[in-house]
Amino acid sequence: MKNEKSNPILLYKQKAWLLGRDQDVTDISLLNPSCSSQHAVICFRKIINNDKNRYVQSSLNNEEDIKPFIIDLKSTNGTFINGERIDDSRYYELKNNDILTFGQSSREFIILLNEQQEE
């Protein structure tokens, strides 16, 4: 993930990232007063893709991917993916080049996935 004025944040270095105004507990600080103290979390979830073309399902027919997701923590002013507000308390998969904004902040974070993660 990268915002337009700073160095990239390598999300794969942690299992989860807490974003918000409370600099004592958050991993990524959101300084805008419209952001909640604990605003959102970016985490990684294991997704199992079933091979639906087979009649017999077994664990050998499943592929596992680990993908980034974001969840809004019931923030007052919302979390936005590509300009659209997401529902709170629900996981949203992050795709390559998604733009995240928080509250009324104009600061943008861009999700950059390596080619192996894209599909």
**pLDDT at 64 > cutoff 90:** no
**Which pLDDT does position 115 carry in this prediction?**
58
In this prediction, residue 60 has a pLDDT band, given cuts at 50, 70 and 90, of: low
**pLDDT at 49 > cutoff 90:** no
Domains and CATH numbers, the chain: 2-110 (2.60.200.20)
**Per-residue pLDDT tens digits for 66-114:** 899 999 999 999 999 999 999 999 999 999 999 999 999 999 999 998 7
Rounded percentage of the chain residues whose pLDDT exceeds 90: 66
Which residue would you say has higher pLDDT here, 82 or 117? 82
DSSP secondary structure of 30-83: ---TTS-TT-EEEEEEEEEEE-TT-SS--GGGEEEEEEEEEEE-S-SS-EEETT
* Torsion of the alpha carbons at 4, 5, 11 and 17, rounded to the nearest 10: -100
